[in-house]
Amino acid sequence: MAIDKNKLIRYRVYDQCFSNFTKMYTRSMLRDKVNEALLAVGLEEVGQSTVNHDISPNGNFDRDMCPDVDVVAYKSMGIEGTKENTYYRYAEKGYSIWKVDLDETQVLQLQNALLMLNQFKGLPDMDWVQDLMESICKRYNITIPEADAVVELDYNPDLVGLDSFFSPILNAVLHKSALDITYNGGYEYTYQDTIHPYYIKEYNNRWFVYGWSEKFQRINNMAIDRFITVAISGKIFQANTHVDFSEYFDDIVGVTRYADVQPQLIRLRFTPQRYNYVATKPIHGLTQRNYDDRCEITIEVRPNRELEALILSYGADVEVLEPQSLRDTIADKIQQMYSTYSQK
């Protein structure tokens, strides 16, 4: 059964209070503790009636959390004190609604999830994965079979800067810290900047960090392999009020989003053999429309370098039909390639 965040927080508070044998919690005290926890994460308070229902015999406190056990939490909850001032705690010290045994299906599902999680062990700042896996396996008596890997994620362990800069940048994003950096802008051009990092994205085996650049006064995306130095800045972190990253990539292919370029309708024609590939592996799943009868697709995105590179990767199997500006750009690059390969 699904459980919302508000209810999950309430149940965690109940469990903590019922497990505390050094203090007595009445219903009103439970309400206050619940609302304190809810407000701390920006959620609405609840009334006394909600708390009363949660812990009543007709409530869902135990059934939501322990669906495979018949009212375990309520049966284990003792009521002590006078009628006028009843307080609540578990009958047994050490009891918790979170101490629930898994059935065979749940064990298998958790085992599969751990196998997938195991693929991330090589990434920087992911040493905790091994500790977490060992803890979960010990807690639920799960054994991860020794076998050849059957799932592999594309990953470039030799990417420059990955070991040195990924962890401090990730920590800065999580803990909202500004960074003083030295960055290689390309063509032997380096510069210093203070950035306020908000988001990290992987694309084409490269990692990019997005944040506010004090030098350029805009959201900037920087490849982690181009960083030269990274250090925590003494400047106050500027919160992200510029970009919603859940939508930021909706109208681009890749990672580059030019502010002065608007989304355009891109029409591409493929050879029949290549079209089948593109139809099942969309270039831009959010906007792509397929036209099977003429082996064409349309997408609506902002043209950028990643889109150009992707189109060129299809070689002679694709033709840009619209817009003319993109068709001309691709034609120029093909001509340059032809000139390069024509030289003896």
pLDDT tens by residue, the chain, 344 residues: 445 778 888 888 888 888 887 887 888 889 999 999 999 888 889 999 998 888 776 555 554 544 433 323 333 344 444 444 677 777 777 777 766 666 777 777 777 777 776 666 556 666 666 676 677 776 666 666 665 666 777 778 888 988 889 989 999 998 999 999 999 988 778 999 999 999 999 999 999 999 999 999 999 999 999 999 999 999 999 999 999 999 999 999 999 999 899 999 999 999 999 999 999 999 998 899 999 999 999 999 999 999 999 999 999 999 999 999 999 999 999 999 999 999 87
pLDDT at 305: 95
282: left (phi over 0), alpha (psi -120 to 50) or beta: beta
In which residue are the tokens 């002590």 written?
A: 80
pLDDT at 130: 67
pLDDT at 126: 62
H or E stretch covering 11: helix 5-19
Residues 111/150, Cβ–Cβ less than 8 Å: no
Read off the amino acid at residue 115.
L
pLDDT at 71: 29
* Cβ atoms < 10 Å from Cβ of 325: 11
Cα–Cα distance measured from residue 167 to residue 183, given in angstroms and rounded to the nearest whole number: 17
Could you tell me the two tokens for 40?
Answer: 């701390």
Residues 225/166, Cβ–Cβ less than 8 Å: no
The candidate with the shortest Cα–Cα distance to 290, out of 303, 309, 277, is 277
Cα–Cα distance measured from residue 64 to residue 10, given in angstroms and rounded to the nearest whole number: 12
pLDDT at 79: 47
pLDDT at 93: 76
